[in-house]
């Protein structure tokens, strides 16, 4: 399995603007529209943005979960851990589980398994963006890209009294540049 946060593996940088985000979530919504989705489950944190937009577009119920490798925005765990579980309301429903990115694919797989364990009639996995190496790929993706992705909600953070590029992104861009120059 691919290591998550292996930024040097990315090819290029792709910034997703809010306008591009709107376009990609419309694409996801259109792809999911024929699936009879009754509930959208969004994976916090970043997955809540596209999941909320899709749920609004489909005019269906929405529930968040938190399944993450991070603590206080720092990658901490090798595998995602549950912090907020799946709602019991998924029972007997057709559910789309949505995240902002399928990197290794593991988070979506774990969420889909838990939703099925909670009695969902059917689960469709979806991500705003997928890397080509995600295993398995989500059933629905707005975009497949192996670039270092910069999402509008993650680009800047407020540190030491000022807005600045997220330190993890700044470091990832440096790592990627270093990897490209050594080829």
How remote is the C-alpha of 50 from its chain's centroid? 8
pTM for the model: 0.91
Q: How many CB atoms lie within 10 A of CB 161?
A: 5
pLDDT in tens, the chain (183 residues): 334 566 666 778 899 999 999 999 999 999 999 999 999 999 999 999 999 999 999 999 999 999 988 888 888 888 899 999 999 999 999 999 999 999 989 999 999 999 999 999 999 999 999 999 999 999 999 999 999 999 999 999 999 999 999 998 998 888 877 777 776
pLDDT at residue 74, as a whole number: 82
Class level of CATH domain 10-152: alpha beta
Q: Is 45 helix (H, G, I), strand (E, B) or coil?
A: coil
In order of 107, 127, 148, the CA distances from 42 in angstroms are: 11, 10, 22
Q: Computed from CA positions of residues 158, 68, 48, 153, in that sequence, does the dihedral angle turn out positive or negative?
A: positive
Cα–Cα nearest to 149, from 124, 125, 166: 166
pLDDT at residue 5, as a whole number: 60
pLDDT at residue 8, as a whole number: 64
pLDDT at residue 1, as a whole number: 32
């Amino acid at each position: 399995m691919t290591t998550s946060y292996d930024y040097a593996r990315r090819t290029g940088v792709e910034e997703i603007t809010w306008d591009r985000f709107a376009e990609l979530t419309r694409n996801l919504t259109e792809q999911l529209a024929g699936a009879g989705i009754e509930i959208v489950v969004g994976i916090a944190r970043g997955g809540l943005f596209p999941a909320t937009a899709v749920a609004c577009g489909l005019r269906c119920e929405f529930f968040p979960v938190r399944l993450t490798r991070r603590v206080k925005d720092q990658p901490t765990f090798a595998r995602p851990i549950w912090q907020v579980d799946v709602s019991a309301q998924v029972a007997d429903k057709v559910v789309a589980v949505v995240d902002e990115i399928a990197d290794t694919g593991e988070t979506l797989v774990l969420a889909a398994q838990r939703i099925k364990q909670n009695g969902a009639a059917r689960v469709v996995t979806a991500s705003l963006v997928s890397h080509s190496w995600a295993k398995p790929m989500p059933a629905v993706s707005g975009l497949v890209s192996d670039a270092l992705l910069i999402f509008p909600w993650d680009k800047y953070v407020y540190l030491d009294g000022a807005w600045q590029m997220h330190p993890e992104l700044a470091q990832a861009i440096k790592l990627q540049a270093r990897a490209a120059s050594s080829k």
